[in-house]
A and B are shown apart, each in its own frame.
Chain A
Amino acid sequence: MQKTLLRYIWTHTRPQQVFILLIVALSMIPYFLAFDLPKQIINGPIQGQGFEDLSTTQNFLDFSISIPFVDYSFGFDGFPLDRMQTLVALSSVFLLLVIINGAFKYYINTYKGRLGERLLRRIRFELVDRVLRFPPRHAKSLNGAEIASMIKDEVEPFGGFTGDAFVQPALLGGQALAALFFIILQNFWLGMVAAFMVAIQVIIIPKMRRRLIELGRQRQITARRLAGKVNEVVEGLGTIHAYDTSNFERADVASRLGEIYRIRYDLYQWKFLVKFLNNFLSQVTPFLFYLIGGYLTLRGTLDVGQLVAVINAYKDLPGPLKELIDWDQARQDVQVKYEQVFENFEVEDLINPAIHTLTPASEQPRSDTLQAVSVSLNDDSGAKVVDHVNLKIDRGQTVALVDHTGRGAEAMAEAFGRLSWPSSGRICLGDQDIRELPESITGRHISYVSTDSYFFHGSLKDNLLYGLKHAPVKRYEYDGKEMRQRIWEIREAKKAGNPHLDIRAGWVDYSYAALGNGAKEDLQKSLLAALDAVQLTDDVLELALHSTINPEEDPKFASQVVEMRQALRTRMNELGMESLVIPFEPDKYNSQATVAENLLFGATLAPLTPDNELLSSEHFYTALNKVGLQRPFVDMGRTVATNLVEIFGGLPADHPFFRQITTLSAEDISYYQSLLQRKNEPRPVNFRLSGADKAFIRLTLEYIEPRYRLGILTTELQDKIVGSRELFYTELPAHLRELVERYDPDKYVSVATLRENIIFGKLSNSNADGIIELRTLAGSVSRELGFANQLLKAGLDYDIGAGGRRLTPIQRRKLNLARALIRRSDYYVFNKPLPGLERHTQEEIVQNVLAFLGQQENDPAVIWVLSNISLSRLFDKVVMFDGGAILEEGSYETLEQESGTFKALVA
């Protein structure tokens, strides 16, 4: 990158700058013509100059040009027009010039804007490109938010400046010089006075701005740090609350804001001081003219006409001069920003762009042995963690690295994963240093997984397939309008120095899938197998079951869900297990469902809280009255309230028993208590229900007999509720009906989760192991139907949130591992990938992974840094590090017999 922004702009936009300069020069012609025209109109047709006689005509548009030396002249005699016609003609020309000037202005502005935006795009891309090429050590000390604020905000003004970078000084400088020249022509000495004052302005003002620049720099740095701090607060919210340090953070942010305020206020003071001085200097010049010019005139050395001419000419000088000084300020401002950004991105040891060259899928040469040759590694503090280690790993080998003391094994794995660069020695793939090999080889031949994982915002599937997106492999087919748009995109990308790789193309390279040989089905197979290996399949299914889908978007899947629902019911009937689930049936009361569910016979989008639209509507209660359930519900609610008040009354609000009734809090209980104590509630007019009665009805709606066991839901009442279903629904006005999605055994319920849709009923409490039995049964039915895969697919669409935060830490670990297993590599480096997992699960997963990789055709090698040393028996070879050097090396059995240290560690 160039040292100054002006140079950067010049390098990238030279031809365009010259072009726009020429256009600006060209635009000056109609501009000055338009200046002269009003005078002509007033003097000519209006005041009558040259039209002394009524019949006089003047030639319009007459001109003659003679070319010197060749003695050739050509011309046009013009149209003879009378006074009125001339007025119309000249005014039309004026209008024409206005339009032409406007058009020029429009063109110039858009051109400049486009120039600026392209440069902005270029510089932003270049910065991100540099981030992608930062060496690993540097990357560790970065604050993402600060970098983001630089790329997003701090470079923004560069775009606006680009258009004016060269045009403005050329134009304004020209104008100022012309004005100065004109003054000098009028009177040499007064001209010199003006020139002297200009010189003072041009020299002093920028000097004073130096402080402004310094303040600007400080402002920029503090603002960027603030962005970093805010990011930290957001990321560390959990920690802040856990340690009650929110006030410490408040103090920190407040003091930063104070600092920013101080700088900005200082900046204002200086800015307006400079402005004041600038204005003063421009006003002093006329003062000098009056004084010196007046003196000279009085002395008789200058005539009045000249003095007036000088003062008139001076009018044109301050304008351009001021703008020129403003331009200079803008230049310094962006220059400071540029330097600031530049400093942060000008890093030594940037990764050579050649290493990142896009290499499409091709037959990659079978890579050879991976070996460390006399490798030493330093940690960030500079301490040596690996000391001249030689280690060779052959294809097909499984090697366990373990640490006795120190963290040599981990550091070694990091070096294999190119996460840290050796301070001496080298790591070779075949006989080439992996740092010199392009990433298209190292990044595909070696898969590295560590404790740290990063996930990108998107679905589970996007993240699982992330490791296969090396290069676009399948073109996106464009047609018609899209094609034109795409051509435009490519052209613009080229003009701004951006790559024009198509993000819409298929990037997932099936040929790199772990299993099979490049067909799409193989990818799916690899994906499922990898999920199984890390024991994530159940989690994914669970995510799917917990999600809701829009049946209109995927009608096929929705109908499969209904099929699954019916198949499950049939199977339960066949096995005599129909009592597991009490289904929703149009003509039966579901004893495990709430009264509300039974009455509405449908699901509501929002839970039935007091402020639910349905319950807060008067129509709801009117409809209840129509079907004759209002009174029974009020009475029933009163009994429930009496019981609940008896049970929960007097308990402190934080009592764990309140967890049993999720819909009610201690406040609600005391509210009901007060309702029950009230006597003779005044009844509202026109048969409306009182607030108290509505509250009782709400309690009734939540009632589930087997849960509350108050024995108040009689069979008659149940029958009445079932019988009123249809009528009640039709009594509701249309806008309330929309809030309820009615159950239909043959239809998908869009507001319910997949699980609720499949079960389509309530689990009965007649079997304590019901859930487990149902799960096993549903599992086998769904596998037979092939529905399990569909469900898995739905689970894979789960949005994992920023950084995968919607997954549990354990799920993230597993996902991290699965992401590497899906891609076919020759070397898998696992650096303690499963911390925090139970020992037992850990062992199972290690076994699964080794088995999974063992069945791959390309015979990969596995390097696994173990935290649980006893697992090393699963590997061909064990390498034990001690204080950064290899202590023992050999098969598990040999080490166990021969090495005392190892034996002690395993035991």
Chain B
Amino acid sequence: MLLCDEVQLLRKLPYFAEVDTCKLKLLAFASERVTFKAGQRLFTQGDAGDSAYFILSGSVEFLVSTPDGPVKVSERGPNSIVGDISLLCDGPRSSTVQAAGVVEALKINKDYLFRIMDDCPGMTMKMTRAIAERLRLTSSELDQVRALQKA
């Protein structure tokens, strides 16, 4: 996959919709292309987060550790970004993410992402909206789970 293809894919993310192509190209260029084999971990729950991964191909699974061992909670495919939350709030990784098959990803460094955000004021807004959207989904799911538990 070429740099310009990556840029095209990145652009599809709501985060980067308003960012200059030139800046996106910079971000893509500055990011490292990594390949994971099935079962390899992108990151582990509890680790400090210093980068997000943009999935170019393949899919990844989210695992959360429970007393009975890790439990798969969700899965995500190409053109999605994972690990972005702990980038923004400096906390540890909230779940383990591992490759479901061969996964090609772009490893986006935290510092670089922040620089791009500094340069594009619109992006911060987009990002906030995207995260708020996710929060809305998460809390409605949580409410449903609670309701189920009570029932």
Contacts and interface: CB of A to CB of B under 8 A. Distances in A.
Contacts of B6: 709
Given A646-B22, A646-B25, A709-B2, A768 B115 contact: no
B17 interface: no
A660 B31 CA distance: 9
A655 B115 contact: yes
Interface stretch (B34-42, B65-73, B84-92, B125-133): B34-42
A479 interface: no
A765 B35 contact: yes
A868 B90 CA distance: 29
A706 to B, nearest CB: 6
B33 A656 contact: no
A655 B118 CA distance: 12
B26 A768 contact: no
B47 interface: no
Contacts of A647: 22, 25-26, 29
Contacts of B33: 706, 709, 765
A655 B35 CA distance: 28
A646 B24 CA distance: 11
- Chain B interface extent, by class: 20 to 34
A709 B1 contact: yes
Given A709-B6, A711-B2, A768 B29 contact: no
A709 B5 CA distance: 10
B40 A657 contact: no
B40 A768 contact: yes
Interface string A643-674: 10011100100011100100000000000000
Given A656-B111, A656-B115, A708 B3 contact: yes
Contacts of A769: 36, 40
B22 A656 contact: no
Contact of B3 (A651, A656, A709, A767): A709
Nearest to B36: A768
A677 interface: no
Contacts of A655: 115
Given A708-B3, A711-B2, A767 B29 contact: no
B111 to A, nearest CB: 6
Contacts of B22: 646-647
B142 interface: no
A80 to B, nearest CB: 110
Interface string B102-128: 000000000110010000000000000
A57 to B, nearest CB: 110
B30 interface: yes
A647 B1 CA distance: 18
Nearest to B29: A647
Contacts of B37: 767
Interface in A859-880: none
B42 to A, nearest CB: 8
B35 A766 contact: yes
Q: Which of B30, B34, B37 has the most CB of A within 10 A?
A: B30
A710 interface: yes
A649 to B, nearest CB: 8
Q: Which of B29, B36, B115 has the most CB of A within 10 A?
A: B29
A710 B2 contact: yes
A618 B22 CA distance: 36
Interface in B122-149: none
A861 B1 CA distance: 64
Contact of A657 (B1, B30, B32, B36): B30
Contacts of A767: 35-37, 40
Q: Which of A643, A657, A710, A767 has the most CB of B within 10 A?
A: A657
Interface string A508-533: 00000000000000000000000000
A643 B22 CA distance: 10
Contacts of B2: 709-711
B141 to A, nearest CB: 30
Contacts of B25: 646-647
A774 to B, nearest CB: 14
Interface string A171-211: 00000000000000000000000000000000000000000
Nearest to A705: B2
Contacts of A660: 29-30
A868 B82 CA distance: 39
Contacts of B1: 709
Contacts of A657: 26, 29-30, 112, 115
Nearest to B114: A656
Q: Which of A708, A766, A768 has the most CB of B within 10 A?
A: A768
Contact of A656 (B32, B42, B112): B112
A765 B6 CA distance: 17
Contacts of A706: 33
Interface string A704-737: 0010111100000000000000000000000000
B46 to A, nearest CB: 15
Contacts of A710: 2-3
A214 to B, nearest CB: 63
Contacts of B29: 647, 657, 660, 708-709
A708 B30 CA distance: 9
B29 to A, nearest CB: 5
Interface in A210-254: none
Nearest to A770: B35
Nearest to A646: B22
A860 B3 CA distance: 64
Given A710-B3, A768-B34, A769-B40, A648 B112 contact: no
B51 to A, nearest CB: 11
Nearest to B103: A768
Q: Which of A643, A656, A709 has the most CB of B within 10 A?
A: A709
Nearest to A661: B29
Interface string B48-78: 0000000000000000000000000000000
A657 B24 CA distance: 12
Nearest to B25: A647
Nearest to A706: B33
A766 B1 CA distance: 13
B7 to A, nearest CB: 10
Nearest to A657: B30
A56 B29 CA distance: 114
B67 to A, nearest CB: 24
Nearest to B99: A768
Contacts of A643: 3
B26 A765 contact: no
Contacts of A648: 26
A682 to B, nearest CB: 32
A710 B25 CA distance: 11
A411 B136 CA distance: 62
A55 B26 CA distance: 116
A311 B40 CA distance: 110
Interface string A685-719: 00000000000000000000010111100000000
A416 to B, nearest CB: 42
Contacts of A656: 111-112, 115
Interface of B: 1-3, 6, 22, 25-26, 29-30, 32-37, 40, 42, 111-112, 115
29 contacts: A643-B3, A647-B22, A647-B25, A647-B26, A648-B26, A651-B26, A656-B111, A656-B112, A657-B115, A706-B33, A708-B3, A709-B1, A709-B2, A709-B6, A709-B29, A709-B33, A710-B2, A711-B3, A765-B32, A765-B33, A765-B34, A766-B35, A767-B35, A767-B36, A768-B34, A768-B35, A768-B40, A768-B42, A769-B36
Closest 5 CB pairs of A and B: A709-B3, A711-B2, A768-B34, A766-B35, A660-B30
Given A646-B25, A647-B22, 17 more contacts: A646-B22, A647-B26, A647-B29, A655-B115, A656-B115, A657-B115, A706-B33, A708-B3, A709-B2, A710-B2, A710-B3, A711-B2, A765-B34, A767-B36, A767-B37, A768-B36, A768-B42
